Amino acid sequence: MKRHTSVPSDAAQLSILTQFLQEFWSAADLPSAETLTFELALEEIFMNVVMHGSPAGRAPRVEVSLALCDGCLTLMIEDDGPSFDPLSLAAPDVTASLEERRVGGLGVYLVRQMMDAVSYQRLGGRNQLSMTKRVREPTQ
């Protein structure tokens, strides 16, 4: 099962993307336990493009696709903004004290922790981030 949608990189589109994901979840009858992982990945990576990958005066187009294959769900987020690999961000110090704690880089860190596999490539002038996690046991 596959679905695809496309939106401008604008924070107001986040709720539309979340709805797209939730509709896929219902249609594929996936277990609710893993919904948050994918909702979080969608928000963190999309908002990264909106806030850091959108040059002034030009909102890149963001393509989002979901593909379910043998119990594994892959979320692919692509944009035609400037080349940027979010996986190159330094991991935040998750042991820092309350006063020294920073949130920068935390979103991508959480995505890496929660997904089974995450990969980035720059292809044809586009950033492509692919995130996969098993969401149900493979069919016998």
Distance CA 15, CA 13 (A): 6
Q: Parallel, antiparallel, or unpaired for β 117-123 and 126-134?
A: antiparallel
- Binding region for another protein (CB under 8 A) out of 23-31, 34-42, 79-87, 116-124: 34-42
Q: Does 59 bind another protein (CB under 8 A)?
A: no
- Binding region for another protein (CB under 8 A) out of 60-68, 73-81, 108-116, 131-139: 108-116
DSSP conformational letter for 138: P
Return the closest-CA partner of residue 3 out of 67, 79, 74: 67
Among 95, 124, 138, 140, binds another protein (CB under 8 A): 95
Among 21, 25, 30, 44, binds another protein (CB under 8 A): 44
> What six digits make up the tokens of 38?
């994918």
DSSP conformational letter for 17: H
Binding site for another protein (CB under 8 A): 11, 14-15, 18, 33, 35-36, 39-40, 43-44, 47, 94-99, 101, 103, 106-107, 109-110, 113-114
